[in-house]
Amino acid sequence: MKFNEIYQKTELQKLYDEERNAFRKRSKENIVKRRTKTRIEITDG
């Protein structure tokens, strides 16, 4: 019983970490996109 509980927790933790990492990666990409966008606007303007 104990092992199953631990196993389920680690599986959930893995999923959670993957979600969090994906989210972090996306937000980083968005920040970079936003920065390059403003840079382009500045050079064009």
Give the pLDDT confidence score for residue 23 in this predicted structure: 92
**How far is CA 44 from each of CA 11, 33, 35, 36, rounded to the nearest angstrom?**
49, 16, 14, 12
Please report which confidence band the pLDDT of residue 37 belongs to, taking 50, 70 and 90 as the band edges: confident
What are the φ/ψ torsions at residue 22 (nearest 5 degrees)?
Answer: -60, -45
d(CA 42, CA 34): 12
Whether the per-residue pLDDT at 45 is higher than 60: the answer is: no
Task: Give pLDDT tens digits for 2-34.
Answer: 778 877 888 889 999 999 999 999 998 888 888
Q: Give Cα 18 to chain centroid, integer Å.
A: 8
Full-model pTM? 0.50
